[in-house]
Amino acid sequence: MTGDVVNDFCIQAATVNGSGSQSSNLVITKALHHMGIPVAAKNVFPSNIEGQPTWYDIRVTPQGYQARKRTVDILIAMNPATWERDAANVRSGGAVIHEAALPRFGEADRDDVSWYPVPFARLARERLDAKPDLRKYLQNMIYVGVLAELIGLDPAAVEQGVRDQFRTKPKAADLNLAAVRIGVDYTRENLVKSDPYRVTAMDGTRGTVLLDGNRAGALGSLMAGCTVLAWYPITPSSSLCEAFIDYAERYRVDAATGERRFAAIQAEDELAAIGIVLGAEWAGARAMTATSGPGISLMAELTGLGYYAEIPAVIFDIQRVGPSTGLPTRTMQGDVGFVHTLSHGDTRHPVLLPGTVIEVYEDAQRAFDVADRLQTPVFVLSDLDLGMNLWLTAPLPYSERAIDRGKVLDAEALAQVTEWARYRDVDGDGIPYRTLPGTADPRAAYFTRGSGHDEHALYTEDPDVYEANMDRLRRKVDGARTLLPAPLVEESGNRVAICAYGSTHHAVVEARHQLADRGVETDYLRIRGLPLHPAVAEFIARHDRVYVAEQNRDGQMEALLRQELPGELADRLRSIRHFNGVPIDAEAISDPLLAGELAQREPADHRPAAAHHVPVA
């Protein structure tokens, strides 16, 4: 590799979970942001509390790409257990900053990378005025100083990053800055730079913040008027609930009286959590829960109750790898087919599919309005990558939208009605009118039931009444096709297109640039909700081949598309699947798509027999 590589590389910190490295990595991320350099951070961490390997990727690009990069340019190696493998993964011409005590042998004995041995443990022991148990954490901050000196991080930006990270602990900030300076000084005195990577200030982050999707979802729920949270802790959704409680403690407590105007209930399990949410919504509050795949499984029966008894609810599913316990701290889009029809019998639920931090925030607000308008449970599908990692984003806009409670009859409205029936479709849209408990009119009362009922909410097992009721429910949810956000379309008349949803979007952005550089121009459609908007089929009809990129093994969105599309359009679909648990990278899309297009150009008798599915593990 010749010449400097400026603001376009990936740093990987390979450390041990529970060693305090997260603070160090966040300082680097924030320092780069303060320098105006677009940055993307990905944390790949184990499901135990302490002792297992963890990797933190920090990527900088002038273009502001937010997807994971497949290759590592600079490795910070602090974990003896993964040292050899980590060193082997560094690209030729890269750099390795490592604990000097780690031996170079096997795959770690290479001559095509720059080696920077640093005695981190000894430096922490000899030069830091701190208690012994703190030194193991502070030695990670020493590598911040080493990296900063090697790549040219602005010292002021590093200090700002440290003070941001320890904003409530000024003494801790000073101690960590001392550790950074030890790393800087050691590098200046003992290391000679021989790699090409460096950074220089840009103006690429003006008007942006670093924020994770879970915190955005919590704030959006608060802005929507949510006053009841019922939850059971589970990775990766817990931080959304914790953030909601933090915000509610600040903004839902009367300053004069100290009265708490919200309820946050940690239930005994996910069954209880969804039950509390349905009860609160039935009583007139706006209520939510957040969970992941295993919790969704437990919520199935009561979600069906919400669908059939027509009770609003908002459920955040921050997806992780399944099935069963699966890989609790890895990301996936594995629940999309499950939640859309969750529960036994014929059920179908509106599903929002945010792909950015701002969309999580806005979809959180939208979900409560849709749940109230349709009187049904609504899912917001995020994932671990979007939910827990920091993203470069514009600030969240202050919402001016009015809260939409849908068809709710108060006493004054009831007085104008000759006859009211809870489950009667008056307007032809499948949505009945409802009342809330406590409405001062004797006609407001009705019996809420999950068993067979007629339009007056009276028990019945009449087959014709049941069939009519189920048809009405289907018609009601079909209305969500245009109530949910329309798909986002980027179209220039190309015959080949990519279809994606959720956090896969960021890999698609980069993959389209890669494909264009290799002579394959693509259009792009991003699905924003289920049931599918009519514009989805219209887009597919305008293209010869549409590659559906998603992060699951079985091509769940492609299967949903095939169920709804006529055969001629379904045959235009191709499936690209990434499902190894780490966030999808651009090559996971561009490589199989390019292979598919090359196969398409081959003579028919030389093509593979089946080219529709191109799994990417």
pLDDT per residue as tens digits for the range 484-496: 999 999 999 999 9
Q: What is the pLDDT of residue 20?
A: 83
Give residue-wise pLDDT tens across range 567-605.
Answer: 999 999 999 999 999 999 999 999 999 999 999 887 655
CA angle, 131 then 135 then 137, to 5°: 125
Handedness of CA 391, 394, 395, 400 (dihedral sign): negative
CA distance 322 to 182: 44
Q: What is the pLDDT of residue 589?
A: 98
Q: What is the pLDDT of residue 134?
A: 87
Q: What count of residues does the chain have?
A: 617
Question: Average of pLDDT values for 120-131?
Answer: 92
Residues 401-426 as b or e (16 or more Cβ within 10 Å = b)? eeeebebebeeeebeeeeebbbbebe
CA distance 369 to 355: 19
**Could you tell me what percent of the chain has a pLDDT over 90?**
91
- Yes or no: say if 260 and 252 are a contact pair by the CB < 8 Å rule: yes
Please name which of 350, 444, 474 lies closest in space to residue 433, comparing C-alpha atoms: 444
Give the Cβ contact number of residue 344 at 10 Å: 9
- Yes or no: say if 65 and 51 are a contact pair by the CB < 8 Å rule: no
Give residue-wise pLDDT tens across range 517-567.
Answer: 999 999 999 999 999 999 999 999 999 999 999 999 999 999 999 999 999
Handedness of CA 121, 44, 594, 514 (dihedral sign): negative
Question: Average of pLDDT values for 374-401?
Answer: 96
Q: What is the dihedral of CA 498, 501, 502, 503, to 10 degrees?
A: -20
Strand partners, 616: 578
Q: Which of 8-22, 99-113, 292-306 is most confident?
A: 292-306
Please name which of 209, 203, 200, 177 lies closest in space to residue 30, comparing C-alpha atoms: 209
Give residue-wise pLDDT tens across range 239-261.
Answer: 999 999 999 999 999 999 999 99
CA distance 464 to 469: 9
pTM value?
0.95
**Could you tell me what percent of the chain has a pLDDT over 70?**
97
CA angle, 473 then 477 then 483, to 5°: 150
Taking 60 as the threshold, does the pLDDT of residue 408 lie above it?
Answer: yes
Tokens 């096997």 appear where? 106
- Yes or no: say if 433 and 419 are a contact pair by the CB < 8 Å rule: no
Give the SS3 label for residue 192.
coil
Give residue-wise pLDDT tens across range 53-94.
Answer: 999 999 999 999 999 999 999 999 999 999 999 999 999 999
Confidence of residue 612 (pLDDT cuts 50, 70, 90): very low
> What angle, rounded to 10 degrees, do the helices at 120-127 and 170-190 form?
120
CA distance 152 to 201: 10
Secondary structure percentages of the chain, helix, strand, coil, to 5: 40, 20, 40
CA distance 557 to 577: 10
Question: Which residue ranges form the domains of the chain, and what is each CATH number?
Answer: 5-198 (3.40.920.10), 211-393 (3.40.50.970), 411-482 (no CATH), 488-616 (3.40.50.920)
Confidence of residue 609 (pLDDT cuts 50, 70, 90): very low
Q: What is the pLDDT of residue 51?
A: 78
Give the Cβ contact number of residue 519 at 10 Å: 8
Give residue-wise pLDDT tens across range 446-456.
Answer: 999 999 999 99
Q: What is the pLDDT of residue 617?
A: 32
Joined together, the tokens standing for residue 239 give: 């931080």
CA distance 320 to 149: 37
CA distance 279 to 273: 10
Query: Exposed, middle or buried: residue 78 (CB in 10 Å: 0-12, 13-18, 19+)?
Result: buried
CA distances to 44, 140, 322, 367, 529 from 552, rounded to whole Å, are 18, 35, 10, 24, 17
CA distance 139 to 355: 36
| Gyration radius (Cα) of the chain, Å | 27
CA distance 46 to 56: 12
CA distance 165 to 335: 34
The better pLDDT of the pair 44, 107 is held by 44
- Number of continuous H segments (helices) and E segments (strands) in the chain: 22, 23
Question: Average of pLDDT values for 491-512?
Answer: 98
Confidence of residue 132 (pLDDT cuts 50, 70, 90): confident
Question: Average of pLDDT values for 105-127?
Answer: 93
Beta-sheet strands, E only, within 349-492: 351-352, 377-383, 390-393, 488-490
Q: What is the pLDDT of residue 603?
A: 64
Question: Average of pLDDT values for 226-235?
Answer: 98
List all residues 6 or more positions away from 556 whose beta carbon is below 8 Å from its beta carbon.
Answer: 333, 334, 336, 337, 550
CA distances to 514, 522, 594 from 518, rounded to whole Å, are 7, 11, 9
CA distance 283 to 280: 5
